[in-house]
Amino acid sequence: MPKFPEPPSSESLARIEPEIRLINSATEATRLFSSRGHYPTRWNAFRYFGPTASRFDHHLFDRNGEAYHQSRGIMYLATGNEAIPTCLAEVFQVNRIINRVSNSPVLSAFAFTRSLHLLNLTGHFATTIGASTAINSGARPRARRWSQQLYLAYPDIDGILYASSMYGSHEIIALFERAVDAIPQECIFHRHLNDPVIETVVQETAAKISYNVV
């Protein structure tokens, strides 16, 4: 059996007791998003268009097999002391070039207004459900199909906790729209990526992981 097969049905997954990681209220989270371009958004907005190429988009295709704007929304976040480097490594992994201008990227941080219940895919539970930790780094279309089934199987989870494949397995949150009430009215940090205030962390991260900066 392959380490990262297609997912079983949501009904089969629902028979497995989920492993939940509790994220406390007031925990600070960081996100890096585009304020212009194909999928422009705001610091507090979920992306309801999808699925895109992102790993755990749980959106469905329309009848023509195309992505579309729907009721399912997603937001990708990192927490902890390495949150900003993790965001940079993940977002710019395709070309390994940190582009501080194209699509006007913005770094924002905020504190959750309530605790979150996240399905923990960083360890053995990924094997328990029939996959492996390869779900964090394997084929993204397949990971998205897993996310669709996990979303249905565990209606009480706020999202998925998984490990970055680009920055030392640092934990990342794929937050479902179910957690919209956990997003505050105001952020605590909001800077465009070309802001001199964050020049140092951008350059240091790029040097550490051998990315270029433009």
71's CB contacts (< 8 A; 6+ apart) are 48, 177
SS3 state at 30: strand
Segment (H or E) for 183: none
pLDDT at 108: 98
For the chain, list the strands marked E by DSSP: 20-23, 28-34, 47-50, 68-79, 97-98, 105-111, 116-120, 159-163, 171-176, 189-192, 212-213
One-letter amino acid identity for 22?
A: L
The per-residue pLDDT for range 150-201, each reduced to its tens digit, is 999 999 999 999 999 999 989 999 999 999 999 999 999 999 999 999 999 9
Q: From CA 7, how far away is CA 142, in angstroms rounded?
A: 8
Report, in angstroms and rounded to the nearest whole number, the Rg of the chain calculated over CA atoms. Answer: 17
- pTM, entire model: 0.96
One-letter amino acid identity for 24?
A: N
pLDDT at 3: 87
Give the phi and the psi of residue 132 in degrees, each rounded to 5. -170, 180
Q: What is the DSSP string of 99-142?
A: -SSTT-EEEEEEE-SS-EEEEE-SSTHHHHTT--GGGGTS-HHH
Tokens of 35: 């304020």
pLDDT at 37: 85
Low-confidence ranges of the chain (pLDDT < 50): none
pLDDT at 1: 56
